[in-house]
Structure formats: structure tokens, C-alpha cells
Amino acid sequence: MQIRHLGHILALALAAASAAAEDGAYWTKTGNWDVQLEPRMDNGCYATVSWNSGTGIRVGRNPVHDNFYVMISNENWSSLRDGHDYTLQIQFDSHPVWDVSATGYQFEPGEPVFLFAQSNKMNFIREFQRALVMEISYDNGNQDRLKLNGSRRAWDEVEACHRASANWFAPHDMRPGPAVTPPGEVSSGSPAAGGSSGSAGKTKNSGGKGKKKN
């Protein structure tokens, strides 16, 4: 992994501080993945990539709640609505399917609506890093099969950015939010509010063969 000189980090911090509040700091590019810092997500770092099918994904860190989040969108998924709940399925290679309760989230009017979920189950990230293929679907439709080239290095860079950003900013929750999601649960919730600890936001084991117990 590339070592970043302290002077580079300080320069980047000063640039971020002088930028508009909504502007993020760019960390690096690895393969097709861009790694950045997102002020709207409590200055958490994330990796993002898109495919020719129109699907885009963000996988990032939430420094306030010490967990990770996944955001998926597709320009053709016009039925997605901000604040609505959806059932999301994610499968890495031939591993069992992850069943996730996701929420539609839109940063600003006119921008894409993402399917958002967060968790502290790091075996999801380990599968993400090792997998060659990720298959996704929501509400038993709108499926896509995506090649995960470079996902291991992408998450390594997210972690590197996360460690460095701890020296740039003191994480803080910009808006009051519910309690931290307990271990073993996945919250859909609002990214900016840190998720929800209510039952509606939990990942559930749907039972049956090949389902992931989260």
C-alpha cells in the first residue's frame, strides 16, 4: 500500500477545510474505484465504482458508529423513492445470500436514489474483498450481476483513508440520531442520522437453503 507523507495529508486537510461544506476530499484511485471522504456522511471514507449496466455502488465507513455502509443505485431503477423500505439481496460468488432491509436515500433532490444499509458484520466486507462477482436484486426483481475487479484494494484504501481522516477531523454526529446499531443487526435508517435500531431496520434470516444468517 502506498505510504502518504505527512505533508500530503496536511495539505489535503487544509484543502478540505477551505472547500465548501458539501465538497469531499479525494483520497486516491485504485483500478476503477475512486476513494473519497464524504462530509455528508460524518467525514467517512468510501469507495465507489459504476458499471456499464448503470449500477453504481458505494461501500464506506461510518466513523461515528464504527461500522460500514453500502449504497447501491441504478439509473434505470426509477421506482426507488427516498425514505421507502426495500428488501435487498446481495450474493458474493457462490456464498449464501445476504438478505438486507434497505432504505431509499437521496442526498439532494434530483440526484439518484440509493438503496442504503449499514452493519458491523465485517464478514460481509471480507466476502466483498475476496469475491469476483456480486449479484444484487431488490424486491425480488431488478437484478444485476457485477464483476468486482479490485474490491480488495479498494477497501484497503478506504481503511487507509479512514485512519488518516481521524487526524483531520473529530468525528461528530451532525444530527441527533438513534442509538448505535447492536451487533448482529443491519440498519437501513438514514445515513446522516446514523441508522435505526428499530426492528424495521434489521437484516433477517429469511430461512431456507443458501440464506445468510446475519
Does the residue 213 lie in any domain? no
**What is the number of domains present in the chain?**
1
Does the residue 78 lie in any domain? yes
Does the residue 208 lie in any domain? no
Greatest alpha-carbon span in the chain: 54
Supply the pLDDT for residue 191: 53
Does the residue 159 lie in any domain? yes
3-state helix, strand, coil in the chain (%, to 5): 20, 35, 45
Q: How far is 64 from 42, CA to CA, in rounded Å?
A: 7
Per DSSP (E only), the strands in the chain are 26-30, 33-38, 44-50, 55-62, 67-74, 85-92, 98-105, 114-119, 133-138, 141-147, 186-187
Supply the pLDDT for residue 205: 39
Supply the pLDDT for residue 212: 53
Q: How many residues does the chain have?
A: 214
Does the residue 93 lie in any domain? yes
Q: Which residues of the chain have pLDDT under 70?
A: 1-24, 142, 168-214
Supply the pLDDT for residue 147: 96
Q: How far is 16 from 158, CA to CA, in rounded Å?
A: 17
Query: pLDDT digits over 40-69, tens only?
Result: 888 899 999 999 999 999 999 998 888 999
Does the residue 206 lie in any domain? no
Q: 92 lies in which domain range? A: 6-201
Supply the pLDDT for residue 32: 95
Does the residue 63 lie in any domain? yes
Does the residue 1 lie in any domain? no
**Cell 425480488 -> residue:** 140
* CA-angle at 170, arms to 165 and 174, nearest 5°: 110
First to last CA, the chain: 31
Supply the pLDDT for residue 110: 86
One-letter amino acid identity for 73?
Answer: S
Note the pTM of the prediction, 2 decimals: 0.70
